[in-house]
Protein backbone atom coordinates (compact mmCIF):
# COMPACT_ATOMS: atom_id res chain seq x y z
CA UNK A 1 0.00 0.00 0.00
CA UNK A 2 1.58 3.29 -1.05
CA UNK A 3 -1.38 5.52 -0.30
CA UNK A 4 -4.15 5.34 2.25
CA UNK A 5 -7.47 6.43 0.83
CA UNK A 6 -10.48 7.15 3.00
CA UNK A 7 -13.93 6.41 1.59
CA UNK A 8 -17.34 7.39 2.88
CA UNK A 9 -18.82 3.98 3.80
CA UNK A 10 -22.32 5.20 2.94
CA UNK A 11 -21.18 6.03 -0.63
CA UNK A 12 -17.78 4.44 -1.24
CA UNK A 13 -17.23 6.32 -4.50
CA UNK A 14 -16.84 9.44 -2.37
CA UNK A 15 -13.20 9.87 -1.34
CA UNK A 16 -12.70 11.79 1.91
CA UNK A 17 -8.93 12.01 1.89
CA UNK A 18 -5.72 10.45 0.69
CA UNK A 19 -2.40 10.18 2.53
CA UNK A 20 0.97 8.68 1.63
CA UNK A 21 1.51 5.40 3.45
CA UNK A 22 4.59 5.38 5.66
CA UNK A 23 7.49 3.11 4.75
CA UNK A 24 10.13 1.93 7.21
CA UNK A 25 12.20 5.08 6.73
CA UNK A 26 9.19 7.29 7.41
CA UNK A 27 8.46 5.40 10.64
CA UNK A 28 12.13 5.88 11.65
CA UNK A 29 11.91 9.61 10.97
CA UNK A 30 8.65 9.94 12.91
CA UNK A 31 10.06 8.13 15.95
CA UNK A 32 13.28 10.20 15.86
CA UNK A 33 11.41 13.51 15.61
CA UNK A 34 9.04 12.61 18.45
CA UNK A 35 11.99 11.49 20.59
CA UNK A 36 13.84 14.75 19.96
CA UNK A 37 10.82 16.89 20.93
CA UNK A 38 10.09 14.67 23.93
CA UNK A 39 13.39 15.54 25.62
CA UNK A 40 12.25 19.15 26.17
CA UNK A 41 8.61 18.22 26.77
CA UNK A 42 9.57 15.99 29.68
CA UNK A 43 10.97 19.09 31.43
CA UNK A 44 7.76 21.12 31.07
CA UNK A 45 5.93 21.22 34.44
CA UNK A 46 2.93 18.88 34.46
CA UNK A 47 0.36 21.64 35.11
CA UNK A 48 1.61 23.48 32.02
CA UNK A 49 1.27 20.32 29.95
CA UNK A 50 -2.25 20.06 31.37
CA UNK A 51 -3.04 23.59 30.18
CA UNK A 52 -2.36 22.49 26.60
CA UNK A 53 -4.66 19.49 27.03
CA UNK A 54 -7.35 21.85 28.37
CA UNK A 55 -6.90 24.09 25.34
CA UNK A 56 -7.32 21.06 23.06
CA UNK A 57 -10.60 20.33 24.85
CA UNK A 58 -11.73 23.92 24.27
CA UNK A 59 -10.93 23.71 20.54
CA UNK A 60 -12.72 20.36 20.25
CA UNK A 61 -15.80 21.91 21.87
CA UNK A 62 -15.65 24.88 19.51
CA UNK A 63 -15.54 22.52 16.50
CA UNK A 64 -17.81 19.83 17.86
CA UNK A 65 -20.42 19.98 15.08
CA UNK A 66 -17.86 20.00 12.28
CA UNK A 67 -15.90 17.10 13.80
CA UNK A 68 -19.07 15.14 14.57
CA UNK A 69 -20.02 15.36 10.90
CA UNK A 70 -16.56 14.16 9.92
CA UNK A 71 -16.84 11.15 12.26
CA UNK A 72 -20.27 10.46 10.85
CA UNK A 73 -19.03 10.59 7.25
CA UNK A 74 -15.87 8.57 7.75
CA UNK A 75 -16.97 5.98 10.34
CA UNK A 76 -20.61 5.78 9.27
CA UNK A 77 -22.16 6.53 12.66
CA UNK A 78 -25.30 8.58 12.91
CA UNK A 79 -24.77 12.25 13.72
CA UNK A 80 -25.81 12.10 17.37
CA UNK A 81 -23.30 9.31 17.94
CA UNK A 82 -20.63 11.29 16.08
CA UNK A 83 -21.37 14.18 18.45
CA UNK A 84 -21.20 11.81 21.43
CA UNK A 85 -17.81 10.63 20.29
CA UNK A 86 -16.40 14.17 20.05
CA UNK A 87 -17.94 14.92 23.46
CA UNK A 88 -16.06 11.94 24.86
CA UNK A 89 -12.80 13.50 23.66
CA UNK A 90 -13.83 16.83 25.22
CA UNK A 91 -14.63 15.10 28.53
CA UNK A 92 -11.32 13.26 28.41
CA UNK A 93 -9.45 16.54 27.94
CA UNK A 94 -11.22 18.04 30.97
CA UNK A 95 -10.50 14.97 33.09
CA UNK A 96 -6.82 14.72 32.12
CA UNK A 97 -6.27 18.47 32.48
CA UNK A 98 -7.57 18.15 36.05
CA UNK A 99 -5.16 15.30 36.69
CA UNK A 100 -2.33 17.70 35.88
CA UNK A 101 -2.92 19.41 39.22
CA UNK A 102 -3.66 16.28 41.23
CA UNK A 103 -1.51 13.82 43.14
CA UNK A 104 0.59 11.59 40.87
CA UNK A 105 2.29 9.51 43.48
CA UNK A 106 2.27 8.56 47.11
CA UNK A 107 4.34 9.47 50.11
CA UNK A 108 4.86 6.67 52.61
CA UNK A 109 6.47 6.83 56.05
CA UNK A 110 10.05 5.58 56.02
CA UNK A 111 11.09 2.98 58.58
CA UNK A 112 14.23 5.07 59.23
CA UNK A 113 14.64 8.43 60.94
CA UNK A 114 15.19 11.58 58.86
CA UNK A 115 14.29 9.85 55.65
CA UNK A 116 11.41 10.19 53.28
CA UNK A 117 10.01 7.82 50.67
CA UNK A 118 7.68 8.69 47.81
CA UNK A 119 6.76 7.74 44.27
CA UNK A 120 6.58 9.87 41.20
CA UNK A 121 5.67 9.14 37.57
CA UNK A 122 8.15 9.37 34.72
CA UNK A 123 7.47 9.25 30.97
CA UNK A 124 8.16 6.13 28.92
CA UNK A 125 9.66 8.20 26.06
CA UNK A 126 7.83 7.80 22.77
CA UNK A 127 4.50 5.96 22.79
CA UNK A 128 3.45 4.09 19.65
CA UNK A 129 -0.34 4.15 19.30
CA UNK A 130 -2.34 1.93 16.98
CA UNK A 131 -6.04 2.65 16.82
CA UNK A 132 -9.17 1.11 15.26
CA UNK A 133 -11.60 2.82 12.90
CA UNK A 134 -14.75 2.67 15.04
CA UNK A 135 -13.90 5.47 17.50
CA UNK A 136 -11.54 7.48 15.31
CA UNK A 137 -11.54 10.53 17.57
CA UNK A 138 -12.39 9.29 21.05
CA UNK A 139 -9.80 6.50 21.17
CA UNK A 140 -6.92 8.76 20.06
CA UNK A 141 -8.05 11.17 22.80
CA UNK A 142 -8.04 8.42 25.46
CA UNK A 143 -4.46 7.68 24.51
CA UNK A 144 -2.96 11.04 23.51
CA UNK A 145 -4.15 13.21 26.40
CA UNK A 146 -2.77 11.05 29.24
CA UNK A 147 0.38 10.25 27.23
CA UNK A 148 1.07 13.97 26.76
CA UNK A 149 0.35 14.74 30.40
CA UNK A 150 2.85 12.06 31.38
CA UNK A 151 5.55 13.79 29.31
CA UNK A 152 5.77 11.51 26.28
CA UNK A 153 6.22 11.94 22.56
CA UNK A 154 3.70 10.14 20.35
CA UNK A 155 3.68 8.34 17.02
CA UNK A 156 0.10 7.41 16.19
CA UNK A 157 -1.10 5.16 13.39
CA UNK A 158 -4.82 5.70 12.87
CA UNK A 159 -6.82 2.96 11.21
CA UNK A 160 -6.43 2.93 7.44
CA UNK A 161 -10.24 3.10 7.37
CA UNK A 162 -10.43 6.40 9.28
CA UNK A 163 -7.27 8.41 8.61
CA UNK A 164 -9.03 11.75 8.11
CA UNK A 165 -10.45 11.76 11.65
CA UNK A 166 -7.00 10.83 12.99
CA UNK A 167 -5.42 13.77 11.16
CA UNK A 168 -8.18 16.15 12.29
CA UNK A 169 -7.66 15.18 15.92
CA UNK A 170 -3.89 15.67 15.73
CA UNK A 171 -4.41 19.04 14.00
CA UNK A 172 -6.40 20.18 17.03
CA UNK A 173 -3.55 19.15 19.32
CA UNK A 174 -0.99 21.01 17.20
CA UNK A 175 -3.15 24.12 17.34
CA UNK A 176 -3.60 23.87 21.08
CA UNK A 177 0.12 24.34 21.67
CA UNK A 178 1.67 20.86 21.57
CA UNK A 179 5.30 21.52 20.56
CA UNK A 180 6.37 20.88 16.98
CA UNK A 181 7.39 17.31 16.31
CA UNK A 182 6.04 15.87 19.57
CA UNK A 183 3.10 14.13 17.88
CA UNK A 184 3.69 12.32 14.62
CA UNK A 185 1.07 10.61 12.48
CA UNK A 186 2.00 7.68 10.27
CA UNK A 187 -0.56 6.22 7.91
CA UNK A 188 -0.85 2.70 6.61
CA UNK A 189 -2.25 -0.73 7.26
CA UNK A 190 -1.02 -3.55 9.51
CA UNK A 191 2.54 -3.47 8.16
CA UNK A 192 3.00 0.10 9.41
CA UNK A 193 1.45 -0.86 12.76
CA UNK A 194 3.87 -3.78 12.93
CA UNK A 195 6.85 -1.52 12.14
CA UNK A 196 5.82 0.78 14.98
CA UNK A 197 5.26 -2.09 17.38
CA UNK A 198 8.79 -3.41 16.98
CA UNK A 199 10.63 -0.11 16.61
CA UNK A 200 13.48 0.13 19.13
CA UNK A 201 12.81 3.84 19.71
CA UNK A 202 9.30 3.16 21.03
CA UNK A 203 9.02 2.94 24.82
CA UNK A 204 5.41 1.77 25.03
CA UNK A 205 2.85 0.41 22.61
CA UNK A 206 -0.79 1.24 23.17
CA UNK A 207 -3.06 -0.84 20.97
CA UNK A 208 -6.83 -0.92 20.53
CA UNK A 209 -8.37 -3.31 18.03
CA UNK A 210 -9.42 -6.91 17.56
CA UNK A 211 -8.18 -9.89 19.58
CA UNK A 212 -6.29 -11.54 16.66
CA UNK A 213 -4.39 -8.32 15.85
CA UNK A 214 -3.79 -7.61 19.54
CA UNK A 215 -2.17 -11.01 19.96
CA UNK A 216 0.20 -10.31 17.05
CA UNK A 217 1.07 -6.89 18.48
CA UNK A 218 1.81 -8.30 21.93
CA UNK A 219 3.99 -11.11 20.57
CA UNK A 220 5.92 -8.81 18.23
CA UNK A 221 6.45 -6.08 20.82
CA UNK A 222 7.80 -8.46 23.42
CA UNK A 223 10.33 -9.86 20.94
CA UNK A 224 12.10 -6.54 20.65
CA UNK A 225 12.58 -6.05 24.36
CA UNK A 226 10.70 -5.47 27.57
CA UNK A 227 8.31 -2.58 27.27
CA UNK A 228 4.81 -1.56 28.23
CA UNK A 229 2.25 -3.06 25.85
CA UNK A 230 -1.35 -2.26 26.60
CA UNK A 231 -4.13 -4.01 24.75
CA UNK A 232 -7.81 -3.00 24.52
CA UNK A 233 -9.52 -5.68 22.44
CA UNK A 234 -12.89 -7.07 21.46
CA UNK A 235 -16.02 -8.03 23.34
CA UNK A 236 -18.97 -10.42 23.31
CA UNK A 237 -21.17 -8.32 25.50
CA UNK A 238 -24.33 -9.60 27.12
CA UNK A 239 -27.48 -8.10 28.53
CA UNK A 240 -29.34 -10.15 31.12
CA UNK A 241 -33.09 -9.55 31.27
CA UNK A 242 -34.63 -11.10 34.39
CA UNK A 243 -38.32 -11.93 34.65
CA UNK A 244 -39.16 -8.86 36.77
CA UNK A 245 -37.44 -6.39 34.41
CA UNK A 246 -39.14 -3.34 32.97
CA UNK A 247 -39.42 -4.75 29.45
CA UNK A 248 -39.86 -1.39 27.77
CA UNK A 249 -36.64 -0.16 29.34
CA UNK A 250 -34.89 -3.41 28.41
CA UNK A 251 -36.12 -3.05 24.82
CA UNK A 252 -34.76 0.50 24.59
CA UNK A 253 -31.45 -0.74 26.00
CA UNK A 254 -31.24 -3.72 23.64
CA UNK A 255 -31.90 -1.58 20.57
CA UNK A 256 -29.37 1.11 21.44
CA UNK A 257 -26.81 -1.42 22.70
CA UNK A 258 -27.09 -3.81 19.75
CA UNK A 259 -27.78 -1.53 16.81
CA UNK A 260 -26.08 1.77 17.76
CA UNK A 261 -23.07 2.26 15.43
CA UNK A 262 -24.60 -0.68 13.49
CA UNK A 263 -23.33 -3.02 16.22
CA UNK A 264 -19.75 -2.03 15.48
CA UNK A 265 -18.70 -1.00 18.99
CA UNK A 266 -16.41 -3.05 21.18
CA UNK A 267 -19.16 -2.81 23.82
CA UNK A 268 -22.10 -3.54 21.49
CA UNK A 269 -24.73 -5.83 22.97
CA UNK A 270 -24.52 -9.06 20.99
CA UNK A 271 -26.28 -11.42 23.39
CA UNK A 272 -29.52 -11.02 25.33
CA UNK A 273 -29.88 -13.65 28.04
CA UNK A 274 -33.54 -13.53 28.88
CA UNK A 275 -35.46 -15.48 31.47
CA UNK A 276 -37.76 -17.92 29.75
CA UNK A 277 -41.05 -16.50 31.10
CA UNK A 278 -40.54 -13.11 29.44
CA UNK A 279 -38.54 -14.21 26.39
CA UNK A 280 -41.38 -14.25 23.85
CA UNK A 281 -42.59 -10.80 24.85
CA UNK A 282 -39.10 -9.31 24.78
CA UNK A 283 -38.32 -10.80 21.35
CA UNK A 284 -41.60 -9.48 19.98
CA UNK A 285 -40.89 -5.97 21.29
CA UNK A 286 -37.25 -5.86 20.12
CA UNK A 287 -37.95 -7.33 16.68
CA UNK A 288 -40.87 -4.95 16.09
CA UNK A 289 -38.82 -1.91 17.03
CA UNK A 290 -35.77 -3.14 15.07
CA UNK A 291 -37.92 -3.34 11.93
CA UNK A 292 -38.89 0.32 12.40
CA UNK A 293 -35.29 1.60 12.40
CA UNK A 294 -34.38 3.68 9.35
CA UNK A 295 -31.18 2.78 7.53
CA UNK A 296 -29.37 5.36 5.47
CA UNK A 297 -26.81 8.13 5.19
CA UNK A 298 -25.71 8.68 8.81
CA UNK A 299 -25.41 12.44 8.35
CA UNK A 300 -29.17 12.59 7.74
CA UNK A 301 -30.67 13.36 11.18
CA UNK A 302 -33.72 11.17 10.47
CA UNK A 303 -31.57 8.05 10.01
CA UNK A 304 -31.18 5.58 12.91
CA UNK A 305 -28.59 3.16 11.53
CA UNK A 306 -25.67 3.90 9.21
CA UNK A 307 -23.64 1.57 6.97
CA UNK A 308 -21.20 -1.21 7.80
CA UNK A 309 -17.67 0.12 7.45
CA UNK A 310 -16.80 -1.95 4.35
CA UNK A 311 -18.57 -4.44 2.10
CA UNK A 312 -16.01 -7.04 3.10
CA UNK A 313 -16.97 -6.55 6.73
CA UNK A 314 -20.69 -6.78 5.85
CA UNK A 315 -20.02 -10.07 4.04
CA UNK A 316 -18.18 -11.44 7.08
CA UNK A 317 -21.18 -10.54 9.27
CA UNK A 318 -23.54 -12.18 6.74
CA UNK A 319 -21.37 -15.30 6.91
CA UNK A 320 -21.76 -15.42 10.70
CA UNK A 321 -25.51 -15.01 10.33
CA UNK A 322 -25.73 -17.89 7.82
CA UNK A 323 -23.62 -20.07 10.08
CA UNK A 324 -25.92 -19.33 13.04
CA UNK A 325 -28.99 -20.27 11.00
CA UNK A 326 -27.17 -23.44 9.97
CA UNK A 327 -26.66 -24.23 13.66
CA UNK A 328 -30.40 -23.91 14.32
CA UNK A 329 -31.04 -20.23 15.04
CA UNK A 330 -34.07 -18.45 13.57
CA UNK A 331 -34.30 -14.87 12.40
CA UNK A 332 -37.13 -12.76 13.88
CA UNK A 333 -37.76 -10.14 11.18
CA UNK A 334 -35.48 -8.66 8.52
CA UNK A 335 -31.85 -9.64 8.25
CA UNK A 336 -28.81 -9.47 6.04
CA UNK A 337 -27.11 -7.01 3.69
CA UNK A 338 -29.34 -4.49 1.97
CA UNK A 339 -29.03 -1.50 -0.33
CA UNK A 340 -30.28 1.99 0.47
CA UNK A 341 -31.49 4.46 -2.12
CA UNK A 342 -29.13 7.41 -2.54
CA UNK A 343 -26.26 5.48 -0.94
CA UNK A 344 -24.75 3.77 -3.96
CA UNK A 345 -22.38 0.98 -3.11
CA UNK A 346 -22.82 1.39 0.66
CA UNK A 347 -23.13 -1.93 2.51
CA UNK A 348 -26.06 -1.67 4.91
CA UNK A 349 -27.17 -4.49 7.18
CA UNK A 350 -30.63 -4.96 8.66
CA UNK A 351 -30.63 -4.85 12.46
CA UNK A 352 -31.09 -8.58 13.01
CA UNK A 353 -32.63 -10.42 15.96
CA UNK A 354 -31.94 -14.15 16.23
CA UNK A 355 -33.77 -16.58 18.48
CA UNK A 356 -32.97 -20.16 19.33
CA UNK A 357 -29.28 -19.38 19.80
CA UNK A 358 -27.51 -21.72 22.22
CA UNK A 359 -24.49 -20.67 24.33
CA UNK A 360 -22.29 -23.17 22.47
CA UNK A 361 -23.14 -21.76 19.02
CA UNK A 362 -20.37 -19.83 17.27
CA UNK A 363 -22.47 -16.65 17.16
CA UNK A 364 -22.89 -16.79 20.94
CA UNK A 365 -19.14 -17.00 21.48
CA UNK A 366 -17.38 -14.98 18.75
CA UNK A 367 -17.45 -11.23 18.23
CA UNK A 368 -19.63 -10.44 15.19
CA UNK A 369 -18.91 -6.70 15.20
CA UNK A 370 -22.17 -6.05 13.39
CA UNK A 371 -25.90 -5.70 14.08
CA UNK A 372 -26.62 -9.32 15.07
CA UNK A 373 -28.43 -9.72 18.38
CA UNK A 374 -28.66 -13.30 19.65
CA UNK A 375 -31.42 -14.08 22.12
CA UNK A 376 -30.55 -16.93 24.47
CA UNK A 377 -33.16 -18.19 26.90
CA UNK A 378 -32.14 -19.05 30.46
CA UNK A 379 -34.02 -20.43 33.46
CA UNK A 380 -32.42 -18.67 36.40
CA UNK A 381 -30.32 -15.72 37.52
CA UNK A 382 -27.36 -18.04 38.13
CA UNK A 383 -27.61 -19.60 34.70
CA UNK A 384 -27.70 -16.13 33.12
CA UNK A 385 -24.49 -15.15 34.90
CA UNK A 386 -22.85 -18.46 33.93
CA UNK A 387 -23.68 -17.88 30.26
CA UNK A 388 -22.35 -14.29 30.40
CA UNK A 389 -19.06 -15.70 31.64
CA UNK A 390 -18.82 -18.62 29.18
CA UNK A 391 -17.02 -16.57 26.50
CA UNK A 392 -13.34 -15.72 26.19
CA UNK A 393 -14.10 -11.98 26.28
CA UNK A 394 -14.84 -9.86 29.35
CA UNK A 395 -15.60 -6.30 28.32
CA UNK A 396 -19.12 -5.19 29.19
CA UNK A 397 -22.38 -6.63 30.55
CA UNK A 398 -25.75 -5.36 31.74
CA UNK A 399 -28.49 -6.69 33.97
CA UNK A 400 -32.12 -5.57 33.85
CA UNK A 401 -34.23 -6.22 36.95
CA UNK A 402 -36.24 -4.17 39.42
CA UNK A 403 -34.91 -6.12 42.40
CA UNK A 404 -31.78 -4.62 43.89
CA UNK A 405 -30.72 -7.93 45.46
CA UNK A 406 -30.88 -9.79 42.14
CA UNK A 407 -29.08 -6.93 40.40
CA UNK A 408 -26.18 -6.82 42.83
CA UNK A 409 -25.79 -10.60 42.96
CA UNK A 410 -25.50 -10.57 39.16
CA UNK A 411 -22.99 -7.69 39.26
CA UNK A 412 -20.90 -9.69 41.75
CA UNK A 413 -20.96 -12.80 39.55
CA UNK A 414 -20.29 -11.22 36.16
CA UNK A 415 -16.67 -11.41 34.99
CA UNK A 416 -16.31 -8.26 32.88
CA UNK A 417 -14.44 -4.99 33.25
CA UNK A 418 -17.63 -2.92 32.92
CA UNK A 419 -21.08 -3.71 34.26
CA UNK A 420 -24.38 -1.83 34.05
CA UNK A 421 -27.66 -2.16 35.93
CA UNK A 422 -30.77 -1.16 33.97
CA UNK A 423 -28.65 0.50 31.27
CA UNK A 424 -27.25 -0.88 28.02
CA UNK A 425 -23.76 -2.36 27.58
CA UNK A 426 -22.58 0.78 25.78
CA UNK A 427 -22.19 4.22 27.35
CA UNK A 428 -19.07 4.28 29.52
CA UNK A 429 -18.11 7.59 31.13
CA UNK A 430 -14.61 9.04 31.31
CA UNK A 431 -13.93 9.16 35.08
CA UNK A 432 -14.22 5.38 35.50
CA UNK A 433 -11.67 2.94 34.07
CA UNK A 434 -12.50 1.39 30.69
CA UNK A 435 -11.36 -2.06 29.64
CA UNK A 436 -12.02 -5.74 30.08
CA UNK A 437 -11.04 -8.99 31.68
CA UNK A 438 -9.87 -12.25 30.06
CA UNK A 439 -8.94 -11.97 26.36
CA UNK A 440 -10.38 -8.46 26.07
CA UNK A 441 -7.14 -6.96 27.31
CA UNK A 442 -4.04 -7.44 29.33
CA UNK A 443 -5.04 -5.79 32.58
CA UNK A 444 -4.53 -2.13 31.73
CA UNK A 445 -7.46 0.25 31.78
CA UNK A 446 -7.98 3.42 29.80
CA UNK A 447 -9.66 6.57 31.15
CA UNK A 448 -10.25 6.94 34.88
CA UNK A 449 -7.69 8.07 37.41
CA UNK A 450 -5.28 5.24 36.54
CA UNK A 451 -5.56 5.63 32.76
CA UNK A 452 -2.15 7.29 32.89
CA UNK A 453 -0.46 4.06 33.98
CA UNK A 454 0.10 2.67 30.50
CA UNK A 455 1.89 5.87 29.50
CA UNK A 456 4.21 6.29 32.47
CA UNK A 457 6.41 4.36 34.83
CA UNK A 458 6.61 4.63 38.58
CA UNK A 459 9.84 5.79 40.17
CA UNK A 460 10.34 5.21 43.89
CA UNK A 461 12.47 7.90 45.52
CA UNK A 462 14.18 7.71 48.94
CA UNK A 463 15.73 10.84 50.46
CA UNK A 464 17.92 10.41 53.51
CA UNK A 465 18.53 13.69 55.34
CA UNK A 466 20.13 12.14 58.44
CA UNK A 467 23.70 12.75 57.26
CA UNK A 468 24.79 9.21 58.11
CA UNK A 469 24.56 5.75 56.57
CA UNK A 470 21.23 4.18 57.51
CA UNK A 471 20.65 0.60 56.41
CA UNK A 472 17.05 -0.36 55.61
CA UNK A 473 15.85 -3.52 57.37
CA UNK A 474 19.04 -3.48 59.52
CA UNK A 475 19.28 -0.15 61.40
CA UNK A 476 15.67 -0.20 62.49
CA UNK A 477 15.90 0.94 66.12
P1 LIG B 1 -8.17 -4.32 13.73
O2 LIG B 1 -7.59 -5.21 14.76
O3 LIG B 1 -8.46 -4.87 12.39
O4 LIG B 1 -7.21 -3.06 13.46
C5 LIG B 1 -6.83 -2.19 14.52
C6 LIG B 1 -5.55 -1.46 14.12
O7 LIG B 1 -4.47 -2.39 14.06
C8 LIG B 1 -5.60 -0.77 12.75
O9 LIG B 1 -4.98 0.49 12.85
C10 LIG B 1 -4.79 -1.73 11.88
O11 LIG B 1 -4.18 -1.10 10.77
C12 LIG B 1 -3.73 -2.21 12.86
N13 LIG B 1 -3.06 -3.47 12.54
C14 LIG B 1 -3.50 -4.49 11.76
N15 LIG B 1 -2.59 -5.51 11.75
C16 LIG B 1 -1.56 -5.11 12.55
C17 LIG B 1 -0.34 -5.71 12.96
N18 LIG B 1 0.02 -6.94 12.56
N19 LIG B 1 0.47 -5.02 13.81
C20 LIG B 1 0.12 -3.80 14.26
N21 LIG B 1 -1.02 -3.16 13.89
C22 LIG B 1 -1.86 -3.82 13.05
O23 LIG B 1 -9.49 -3.68 14.37
P24 LIG B 1 -10.60 -2.73 13.71
O25 LIG B 1 -11.41 -3.50 12.73
O26 LIG B 1 -10.00 -1.43 13.28
O27 LIG B 1 -11.49 -2.42 15.00
C28 LIG B 1 -12.46 -3.29 15.46
C29 LIG B 1 -11.98 -4.10 16.64
O30 LIG B 1 -11.51 -3.24 17.68
C31 LIG B 1 -13.12 -4.90 17.27
O32 LIG B 1 -12.63 -6.16 17.63
C33 LIG B 1 -13.47 -4.07 18.50
O34 LIG B 1 -14.11 -4.82 19.52
C35 LIG B 1 -12.14 -3.57 18.91
N36 LIG B 1 -12.23 -2.37 19.75
C37 LIG B 1 -11.89 -2.47 21.07
C38 LIG B 1 -12.03 -1.36 21.90
C39 LIG B 1 -11.67 -1.42 23.37
O40 LIG B 1 -11.43 -0.38 23.95
N41 LIG B 1 -11.64 -2.59 23.99
C42 LIG B 1 -12.51 -0.16 21.38
C43 LIG B 1 -12.83 -0.10 20.03
C44 LIG B 1 -12.69 -1.22 19.21
Q: Which of 213, 263, 367 gets mutated to test ligand 1 (max ligand atoms within 8 A of its CB)?
A: 213
Q: Which CATH number covers residue 262?
A: 3.40.309.10
246/211 same-domain check: no
CB atoms inside a 10 Å sphere around CB 475 = 13
**Is 472 part of any domain?**
no
Q: Distance between CA 321 and CA 372 in Å, rounded?
A: 7
How many A from CA of 209 to the centre of ligand 1? 2
Q: Which CATH number covers residue 151?
A: 3.40.605.10
| 266 catalytically annotated | yes
Render pLDDT for 128-182 as a digit per residue (tens, 0 to 9): 999 999 999 999 999 999 999 999 999 999 999 999 999 999 999 999 999 999 9
Q: Distance between CA 304 and CA 288 in Å, rounded?
A: 15
Would you say the CB of residue 216 lies under 6 angstroms from ligand 1?
yes
- What is the reported pLDDT for 224? 82
Quote the percentage of the chain above a pLDDT of 70: 100
CA angle 462-205-216, nearest 5°?
Answer: 135
Mean pLDDT of the chain: 97
pLDDT at 222 over 90: no
349/450 same-domain check: no
How many A from CA of 107 to the centre of ligand 1? 39
189/248 same-domain check: no
How many A from CA of 166 to the centre of ligand 1? 14
Would you say the CB of residue 425 lies under 6 angstroms from ligand 1?
no
**Is 348 part of any domain?**
yes
346/362 same-domain check: yes
CA nearest neighbour of 427 among 138, 213, 93, 140: 138
Mean pLDDT score, 59-85? 98
Tell the residue nearest (CA) to atom 30 of ligand 1.
Answer: 209
217/327 same-domain check: no
- Beta partners for 398? 239, 420
Atom of ligand 1 minimally distant from the CA of 309: 25
310/402 same-domain check: yes
Tell the residue nearest (CA) to atom 15 of ligand 1.
Answer: 190
Render pLDDT for 239-254 as a digit per residue (tens, 0 to 9): 999 999 999 999 999 9
Would you say the CB of residue 264 lies under 6 angstroms from ligand 1?
no
- What is the reported pLDDT for 38? 98
Would you say the CB of residue 311 lies under 6 angstroms from ligand 1?
no
Distance of CA 18 to the CA centre of its chain: 25
**Is 355 part of any domain?**
yes
**Is 476 part of any domain?**
no
- What is the reported pLDDT for 143? 98
Confidence of residue 472 (pLDDT cuts 50, 70, 90): very high
**Is 338 part of any domain?**
yes
- HSE of 387, CA atoms in CB hemisphere, 13 A: 29
Tell the residue nearest (CA) to atom 17 of ligand 1.
Answer: 190
Q: Which of 129, 132, 140 gets mutated to test ligand 1 (max ligand atoms within 8 A of its CB)?
A: 132
Tell the residue nearest (CA) to atom 22 of ligand 1.
Answer: 190
250/393 same-domain check: yes
- What is the reported pLDDT for 228? 81
**Is 127 part of any domain?**
yes
How many A from CA of 319 to the centre of ligand 1? 20
Mean pLDDT score, 282-305? 97
Residue 204 dihedral angles phi and psi, to the nearest 5°: -150, 145
Q: Where are the alpha helices (DSSP H) in 211-275?
A: 211-223, 247-259
- What is the reported pLDDT for 323? 97
Q: Distance between CA 338 and CA 162 in Å, rounded?
A: 23
Mean pLDDT score, 276-301? 97
20/72 same-domain check: yes
Question: Helix (H, G, I), strand (E, B), or coil: what is residue 51?
Answer: helix
- Domain total in the chain: 2
| 343 catalytically annotated | no
pTM, rounded to two decimals? 0.97
Q: Which of 137, 209, 234 gets mutated to test ligand 1 (max ligand atoms within 8 A of its CB)?
A: 209
Atom of ligand 1 minimally distant from the CA of 446: 40
pLDDT at 1 over 80: no
Would you say the CB of residue 208 lies under 6 angstroms from ligand 1?
yes
> How many residues comprise the chain?
477
50/21 same-domain check: yes
Q: Which of 156, 207, 210 gets mutated to test ligand 1 (max ligand atoms within 8 A of its CB)?
A: 210
- Beta partners for 185? 156
How many A from CA of 128 to the centre of ligand 1? 14
**Is 124 part of any domain?**
yes
Would you say the CB of residue 266 lies under 6 angstroms from ligand 1?
yes
pLDDT at 420 over 90: yes
How many A from CA of 372 to the centre of ligand 1? 20
Catalytic residue among 85, 88, 167, 266: 266
Quote the percentage of the chain above a pLDDT of 90: 96
341/454 same-domain check: no
Would you say the CB of residue 157 lies under 6 angstroms from ligand 1?
yes
* Domain extent for 372: 237-421
Atom of ligand 1 minimally distant from the CA of 267: 34
Would you say the CB of residue 194 lies under 6 angstroms from ligand 1?
yes
**Is 73 part of any domain?**
yes
Catalytic residue among 74, 85, 232, 377: 232
Q: Distance between CA 285 and CA 400 in Å, rounded?
A: 15
Would you say the CB of residue 304 lies under 6 angstroms from ligand 1?
no
- Range with lowest mean pLDDT among 227-231, 267-271, 363-367, 392-396: 227-231
227/243 same-domain check: no
Confidence of residue 226 (pLDDT cuts 50, 70, 90): low
How many A from CA of 92 to the centre of ligand 1? 21
219/243 same-domain check: no
Render pLDDT for 18-30 as a digit per residue (tens, 0 to 9): 999 999 999 999 9
Q: Distance between CA 303 and CA 426 in Å, rounded?
A: 20
Render pLDDT for 322-343 as a digit per residue (tens, 0 to 9): 999 999 999 998 899 999 999 9
Render pLDDT for 372-416 as a digit per residue (tens, 0 to 9): 999 999 999 999 999 999 999 999 999 999 999 999 999 999 999
- What is the reported pLDDT for 117? 98
Residues 6 or more apart whose Cβ sits within 8 Å of residue 222: 229
Amino acid sequence: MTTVTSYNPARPAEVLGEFPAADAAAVDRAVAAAAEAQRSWAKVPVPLRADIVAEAGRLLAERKDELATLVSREAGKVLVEGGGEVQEAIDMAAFVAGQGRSAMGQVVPSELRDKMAYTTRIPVGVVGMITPWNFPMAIPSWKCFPALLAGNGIVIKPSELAPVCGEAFVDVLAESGVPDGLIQVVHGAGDVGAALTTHPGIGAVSFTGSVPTGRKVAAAAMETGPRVVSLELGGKNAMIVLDDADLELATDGALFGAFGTSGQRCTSTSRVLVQRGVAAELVERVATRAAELTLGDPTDPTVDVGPIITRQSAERIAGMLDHAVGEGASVAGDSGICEVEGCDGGAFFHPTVLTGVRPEHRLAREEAFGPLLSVIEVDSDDEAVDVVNQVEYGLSAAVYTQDVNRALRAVDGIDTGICYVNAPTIGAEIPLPFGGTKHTGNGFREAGARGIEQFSQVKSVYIDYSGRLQRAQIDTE
